Structure formats: structure tokens, C-alpha cells
Chain A
């Protein structure tokens, strides 16, 4: 289990998340409703950003780029932890602007 600290608009929350669990799912089980729409790593609704160095497996995402990883953006609906994490949630617009700024595909939704 990895220790995941969520930095939410309403405050901080801490979760213990297994390697086979998605962050979004684990948050839901803890009673924390993170944003989401497609739930398969496409739409950016759930986008978040790592506030400290950390590793996630985004292999289940339908669309995730090396540039996203380099900028610290993650998609919690399809992110499995591979280290302890500090995660700033509600970053959909920031991730959309990051993608568009680099000429990468981004959902407008």
C-alpha cells in the first residue's frame, strides 16, 4: 500500500492505496468524490498534478502523453500508485491548457 495525500479545494485527505487500485476509485471508497466523466483516461475531467516527485502507472489511460508525465499531470481515474504521492486535484483546466500549449490533443469537455 502507498500513502496518497490528496490536496482538495476543501482541504487535505490521506488514503492508503494498493498497487492495483486506481486513485479515483480509492478516493471514492473513502467517501471523496473526485470529478470524472469518461473514467478511462480520455476526457481530463479528473486531472490532477503531483506536488512532489512520485510515480504512477497510467497504462490503463486511453490518452496520456510523456509530456503529461514530465509536467507532473496525472489522470486519477486510471492512475495506479507506484510510490507515495501528494496529489493536487481539480486540475482539468490546467492540464487542458498544458496540452493545448504543446499542440497535443485535449478534450474540450
Chain B
């Protein structure tokens, strides 16, 4: 481990919390860049567009509820990521279109035609992009930056669950097959048990 840059007594020009992870080998600038891309993906590529997808699942109330959970949990992820970006010395662009364009995953735009199968396929592939994105953050930080790693692992846990939900629903809707997620229900819509540190549904 390289020696961390010295931060003097009362010195506000640097952060020990940043210099320590840099000394452990984290490329902090790259990490900030990737966190902004992931924040943009959670907020604009999924939370915003999942809202529209959810509206078009009328008549599929069970699918709508699951989409709602994923939508709200992605918003929870956004809320979790932003403070870490600023702690590390980064900041969000002061312009929403710029932020949208920096996303690490494509916008989950309403498919044409907006059938349940097409919407579920889009939801599934969006979750898969998120899993790959958070896996990258885990790889960048494991053993070096426990705070970011813990956050990324919590989000990754939920993205993996979202993928399992949409596999289950798409298998049923498109293929007439049963591929259970194996999960119990969320206690409330968008409960986010990992990223909000809630207890699991276990009455």
C-alpha cells in the first residue's frame, strides 16, 4: 500500500477518506466517473422510464406491482449513490440532459408495440445492464474501499433480485414456463431491503 497523502491538522483542502482509498490503489477519478454513470442509469435510464413502463402494464396488475418495486428501488439506489459521489470529491452535472447522456445503461424507453412481453424483456435487459455495472464497481473497490463496496454490493443484491423477478414473469408471459424467482414478497412497494437496510419479510 502506498502512503496516503498527508492531510494537515485542520486542513480542508483534502479528505482522509479519499486519500486512504487512493493509497490502497483505487483510481478515484475513474470511480467517481463510473458512479455518476451508474447514478444516471438508476435515475434516468430506469426510474424515469420504468414509471412509463408501469403505466402501460394496465390489466397486468401483478406485473405492474413488480415493476413498481423495481422502479422505487432504483430511485432508492440513486439516493444512495449521490452522497458517495460528493464524499469522493465528485459532483453531478448541473444540467439534466447532460446527466442523462452520461448514463452507463440505455434509457428503458417504451417499446413499440408496448406489449407485456416487450416491456418485460426491456425490464429484464435493463436489470442485466445494472448487474454488470455494479459488478464493475465491486471489482474496482473490493478490498480497497469498503464504503463504496458495501454500497455497490447492496445495490447489486437488489438488481440481482430484479433480474430474477423479470425472468420469472417473462418465462410465464412469453414461454408459458415456470422459472420461479424463489423470492417472497416485498413488505411494502419498493421496500429495498438491502439498500435501505430494512429487515426481510419474515413475519
Contacts and interface: CB of A to CB of B under 8 A. Distances in A.
A43 B103 CA distance: 7
A12 interface: no
A37 B104 contact: yes
A43 B125 contact: no
Interface residues of A, number: 14
Interface string A67-109: 0000000000000000000000000000000000000011111
A72 to B, nearest CB: 22
Contacts of A3: none
A38 B101 contact: no
B106 to A, nearest CB: 4
A38 B105 contact: yes
Contacts of B132: 36-37
Interface residues of B, number: 18
Interface centre among B103, B106, B125, B136, by most chain A C-beta atoms within 10 angstroms, is B106
A36 B133 CA distance: 10
B34 A108 contact: yes
A24 interface: no
A42 B105 contact: yes
Interface in B30-66: 33-34, 36-38, 40-41
A48 to B, nearest CB: 18
B129 interface: yes
Interface string A35-71: 0111110110000000000000000001100000000
Given A107-B103, A109-B103, 15 more contacts: A37-B104, A37-B105, A37-B129, A39-B125, A40-B125, A43-B129, A63-B106, A105-B101, A106-B102, A107-B37, A107-B104, A108-B33, A108-B34, A109-B33, A109-B38
- Can you list the 9 inter-chain pairs with the closest CB atoms, starting with the nearest? A109-B104, A109-B37, A105-B101, A42-B106, A108-B37, A108-B102, A108-B33, A37-B132, A62-B106
